[in-house]
Amino acid sequence: MLAHLWRESLAMAGKKVTTARQIDTVLAGSYSAAPNLILRVKPTGARSWVFRYQSEGKVAEIGLGKAGTRERGLAEAREYADNMRAAIRNGDDPRSILKPRHDPGALTFKASAEHYIGLLRTTKRKGKPRNQKAVNQWPSTLAKWVYPKLGDKRPADITYRDIQSVLTQTALAELPETQKRVRQRVKVILDEAAKEENEPHRYNPAASFKLEPRDPDSIKHHAAAPWAEVPAIYAQLCERDSTSALLLRWSILTAARSGEARGCVWDEIDRDAAIWTVPAERMKARKEHSIPLSAEALAVLNIMAGRKHPSTNRVFPGASGGLLSDVAVNKTLHSIRDGVTAHGFRSSFRMWGADNTNFAPEALELCLAHANPNKVEAAYQQSNLFEIRTSIIKSWSEFLVGNKAGN
């Protein structure tokens, strides 16, 4: 029966496509791509895959989605067709290979996860069967660590705070390899749910959440104060007049990394525009980063402008004009609050944004100069979210020092 349908489909299509490049370039028409698999190209250029088979004596078709190297490619479509033919041979409905027809936006995280696990069990990866032992571990892992907190939520409603509540469970944090797998599985499921809802570039909070380094010394190095306690620490820094204290105020206000703040030079500052532009060579991601400055940050600059060192262009120089040492900065910080670091205030800022504001997670991540792997989307965000980042920095400053005029 399948062979008969293959000949019929081939006759109907009249033409074949055999390479991935042809999928993007052939003109309008129907093309045979594999047994029972047809590529349809509309006069508008729209391309889609169709699986054609016989059901209860009648010819039936199942749409397999958009076709193209940036959509569903030839190899993936052929894998679907292979699996659907196998389902027919086994007496199963070939539609079971696909996610059921539904309103994706109505699905819970648990339902989305179960659908994705079903796909893992029935589709190949790079032409080879998947490791079923590994796939079979997904349901128990998610049931133990994730479903109790996220199971009933819609994927689009899951926040950075939700991800944190899962991944920072004490028992899970003590199992770093399991913690890493849980994060990856949640990330993949949220990505797949976003694609199903035609929002492939939707923010994925699991992708943004950074797991603590497993080395205990590294964890201590980045220890952060709870965000609600940062204003009290900032107030004590304001009572001190040292360069280290002013540098700490600057790094907290701008959410910058300690090294970026300590290396700041006057040429990077535009006080009229209230912008600090850190050049690419000084950024971790090697991309120029512009930081909006609040009135409080400008006040810190005004103090340092009156203390310019004659032998250097550094804004926060050491005693001899060189780079202010991390040791000196942390010594000042630990005299106020032991057990935290300057770098940790970046985490405090991020959690303040997640817990205490309605700012977009993407904008909060940009404030921290966290790289977006999608280059086109990253360029769009840099150019279009600066005003939002300005509002975020202003709100952060007001939170730290009180709602003073101009902050």
d(CA 366, CA 232): 26
Look up residue 166 and give its two tokens.
């899962």
Fold matches, 2-97 and 104-211: no
Domain boundary assignment for the chain: 2-97, 104-211, 221-401
Secondary element (H or E) of residue 49: strand 47-55
pLDDT tens for the 407 residues of the chain, in order? 444 444 444 444 458 888 888 888 888 888 999 999 999 888 777 888 899 888 777 888 888 878 876 667 888 889 889 988 988 888 888 887 775 444 555 589 999 998 888 888 777 655 555 577 778 889 989 999 999 999 999 998 898 889 989 998 888 877 888 898 999 999 999 998 888 877 777 788 898 888 765 444 444 445 788 999 999 999 999 999 999 999 999 999 999 998 999 999 999 999 999 999 999 898 887 888 899 999 999 999 999 999 988 889 999 999 888 899 888 999 999 999 988 888 889 989 998 988 888 887 778 888 988 765 444 445 544 555 788 899 999 999 999 998 444 56
Tokens of 275: 């912008």
First to last CA, the chain: 75
Domain 221-401 has CATH 1.20.140.10: no
What does the DSSP 8-state code read for residue 212?
P
pLDDT for position 242: 95
Going by CATH, does the domain composed of 2-97 fall within 3.30.160.390?
A: yes
- State how far the Cα of 98 lies from the Cα of 115, in Å rounded to an integer: 9
**Angular region, 257: left φ>0, alpha ψ -120 to 50, beta rest:** beta
pLDDT of residue 269: 95
pLDDT of residue 11: 43
CATH code of the region 104-211: 1.10.150.130
> What does the alpha-carbon distance between residue 117 and residue 138 come to, in Å, rounded to a whole number?
7
